[in-house]
Structure 1
Amino acid sequence: MFSRRQHTHCSIAPPDLLAQLAIDGTSGQKEAAVRALATSAAFRQQRAVMGRLTRQFGLPMGQLVGFNISATRRLTVYDNQTKGRTFLPGVRIRGWGEPASKDTSVNEAYDGSSETYDFYQRVMGRNSLDDAGMELVSSVHYGVAYDNAFWDGTQMVYGDGSGQIFQVGGLTRALDVIGHELTHGVTEFTAGLAYSKQSGALNESFSDVFGSLVKQYTLKQTALEADWLIGEGALVPSLGKALRSMKAPGTAYSGDRQPATMDHYVELPDDNDPRNDNGGVHINSGIPNHAFYLAAMEMGGNAWEQAGKIWYRTLTTKLHANTQFDEAARSTVEVAGTLYGTAEAQAVEGAWREVGVLP
């Protein structure tokens, strides 16, 4: 029997932002936000159920959904054709190693999936999301002017954006958005962090961490050079510069409620009201996000080389469904000492202390 909180759907658009715009936005924003919330609700159960099956029963995701596990078919992009249809994946447009399409969104989804695959394989030694060569499937042009992108438990789905909330085409352009959502797949196959309150905020934070690292690795940026923004340029300019800032939580967009420290932790119920964000999973993720930023900056250099590997080892070997902030923090400190040594462990511990998770 699946618990209620496992019946969730995580997407790149914070539900509290969509709910805020549905109430207080312009007429165009209200319409777009209501449409995004209604469409997203249709996927709340599938993602959690598929992930639970793969973890609990050891069933390969590719076998469950009919996708391939093959080094020669590592990704495929489909077109849902903006017809408001609910079936996925749609019309096959481009497979692995095939020439670029005339469709920009297809090519951006292809490139972003490939770059995420490369990051996990080359940096973390992971063979796709399930570590068993799972094909990465994407569908673009989902719905009609749909303001969201998400991992549904089996594949990536991208809306085009309405130009009212997200810029048209902005969701496939944002490499960190693609890396973020695909990392939800990695989390499903490993820690399985429950999408509620602190464990859900950790789930979101690990996706932000690796979404940012995919972008930094691809652009060859050091921790100092990186902007530490998630989805920079994806929103319409009137709403803000990005969806989240790991460097300065709470500053990304108008109405951003992310705290940087536990002093400002937002206690919210997990009650299916989008304003409450599954108990604040997109909101309170600002705290572990900022801890990672601080640790990476203290270590210096390329964030994926030490800090990223500490967080990856922690996610894939130390955590469980109900992990809370303090346990995750202690685990990263332990892993840092095991992988590297005292200086790195102290850097990680200091970061968690600065955000108030560790005393």
Structure 2
Amino acid sequence: MKTDQHLPIRPFLPPYLLERIAGSSDARRRDRAYRTLHDDQGLRARAGTAELPEGSSRRGEPVRHVHSAGHARELPGERVRSEGQPASGDPAVDEAYEGLGATYRLYWDVFQRHSLDDRGMALLATVHYGQEYENAFWDGRQMVFGDGDGELFKRFTISLDIIAHELTHGVIQHEAALVYADQAGALNESLADVFGSLVKQYRRGQDVESADWLIGADLFTERVEGRALRSMAAPGTAYDDPLLGRDPQPGHMRDFVDTRDDNGGVHINSGIPNRAFHLAAMALGGNAWEAAGPVWYDTLVDERQASRTACTTWPSAPKRRSTPDGHQCAAAES
């Protein structure tokens, strides 16, 4: 497994969005956002500590376990549904279970990949994390979902592409030395969006013309003026809300955002390779998982890329000798 020694969590909501809410005049909104930001910062020290149960020895068959944290912050929590068990009646539990399965199915049916590590790794998820926790994340070993606040965000299991996005961080962790910062981090986020969208398209049987190319389309409540958290087809247009602000993603390198925030703009500049994938998929046509998708997957799993992508610097992008979290880039890339 190729991973950082100090693996940060991969949160779905970027910190700049939560910081906007933390600046609200509403005390409850501020409190929820600050608590989520505090949790996200503190979780790095405890990331990846859950003990994984035995995986699947039979290729093509997943092993899923969904736990409930019961609104506490202990992971993984109480196991409430495992592989082959019937629906629990709890929407968050059952959405997580189905989302884990749908993600496994794309990777197996299309790429013959047996779980995140291609060795049958058990798929572990925890729902009902924290009190009105406004995020979801991959912590290096498992998925974690908050219930949202019900005012701006619905429960984070409600969008299949959110689940698939976060699980794809696990695939990237096992295949590529993409440091979660700067351009490499933006590529990491983009790959998670690409395969998150592919899982949704595959599950719905949508070709490139009928797909919405939105990430988190079901997450916002009706109080938010926005279609989704991100648009792969038109970065920068997903939302424009008085509280949340305007979607800051660029869709072209001429608009690249040079920032130290958000781990060097990992959630912002991912719009550039997202749009590149959308353009490629539309040009090739048909089903994206059969045409453009395999190109991106083959590049991700190509071992020749691992040593070259940890501190990737895109053409025309600012070059740094270290990432925001202190990782030192190779001299050849300086």
Distance change (3 Å), C-alpha of 1:308 and 1:183: same
Quick check: which one's helix share is greater? 1
2:28 is matched by which residue type in structure 1? G
1:172 alignment partner in structure 2 = 157
Task: Structure 1: give runs of 5+ residues left out of the alignment.
Answer: 51-60, 270-275, 328-359
Q: Secondary structure at the match of 2:128?
A: strand
Distance change (3 Å), C-alpha of 1:227 and 1:73: closer
| Aligned residue among 276, 292, 297 for 1:307 | 292
The CA distance in 1 between the partners of 2:11 and 2:115, in whole Å, is: 20
| Aligned residue among 96, 106, 116 for 1:119 | 106
Structure 1 residue 224 corresponds to structure 2 residue 209: yes
1:114 is matched by which residue type in structure 2? G
Tell me if structure 2 keeps the 8 A contact 1:258–1:286.
yes
Q: Secondary structure at the match of 2:10?
A: coil
1:11 alignment partner in structure 2 = 11
Q: Report Cα offsets for 1:105-161 as digits up to 9, x if no partner.
A: 111000000000111011111000000000001111010111111111111111111
2:251 alignment partner in structure 1 = 260
The CA distance in 2 between the partners of 1:325 and 1:223, in whole Å, is: 27
Tell me if structure 2 keeps the 8 A contact 1:176–1:212.
yes
Q: Report Cα offsets for 1:307-348 as digits up to 9, x if no partner.
A: 111001111113432233359xxxxxxxxxxxxxxxxxxxxx
Q: Secondary structure at the match of 2:53?
A: coil
1:245 alignment partner in structure 2 = 231
Structure 1 residue 79 corresponds to structure 2 residue 68: yes
> Hey, which bits of structure 1, 4+ residues long, moved more than 3 A?
3-7, 24-28, 324-327
1:103 alignment partner in structure 2 = 90
The two structures, once aligned, show a CA RMSD in angstroms of 2.1
Distance change (3 Å), C-alpha of 1:284 and 1:221: same
Tell me if structure 2 keeps the 8 A contact 1:69–1:133.
yes
The CA distance in 2 between the partners of 1:97 and 1:253, in whole Å, is: 39
1:90 alignment partner in structure 2 = 77
1:257 is matched by which residue type in structure 2? P
Cα distance, 1:6 vs. partner?
Answer: 4.8
Identity %: 48
The CA distance in 2 between the partners of 1:205 and 1:284, in whole Å, is: 9
| Aligned residue among 35, 38, 54 for 1:68 | 54
1:81 is matched by which residue type in structure 2? G
Cα distance, 1:237 vs. partner?
Answer: 3.0
1:12 is matched by which residue type in structure 2? F
Q: Secondary structure at the match of 2:12?
A: coil
Cα distance, 1:46 vs. partner?
Answer: 4.5
Distance change (3 Å), C-alpha of 1:180 and 1:311: same
The CA distance in 1 between the partners of 2:221 and 2:38, in whole Å, is: 21
The CA distance in 2 between the partners of 1:65 and 1:201, in whole Å, is: 29
Cα distance, 1:209 vs. partner?
Answer: 0.2
Distance change (3 Å), C-alpha of 1:208 and 1:73: closer
2:223 is matched by which residue type in structure 1? S
Tell me if structure 1 keeps the 8 A contact 2:117–2:174.
yes
Structure 1 residue 212 corresponds to structure 2 residue 197: yes
Task: Structure 2: give runs of 5+ residues left out of the alignment.
Answer: 241-245, 317-334
Tell me if structure 2 keeps the 8 A contact 1:142–1:159.
yes
The alignment of Structure 1 onto Structure 2 pairs a total of residues equal to 301
Cα distance, 1:30 vs. partner?
Answer: 1.7
Q: Report Cα offsets for 1:75-127 as digits up to 9, x if no partner.
A: 11111111x3x221111111101111021111100000000011101111100
1:20 alignment partner in structure 2 = 20
TM-score, normalization: structure 1?
0.80
Structure 1 residue 43 corresponds to structure 2 residue 30: no
Cα distance, 1:195 vs. partner?
Answer: 0.7
Q: Which moved more, 1:115-124 or 1:18-27?
A: 18-27
Distance change (3 Å), C-alpha of 1:304 and 1:43: same
2:118 alignment partner in structure 1 = 131
Distance change (3 Å), C-alpha of 1:219 and 1:73: closer
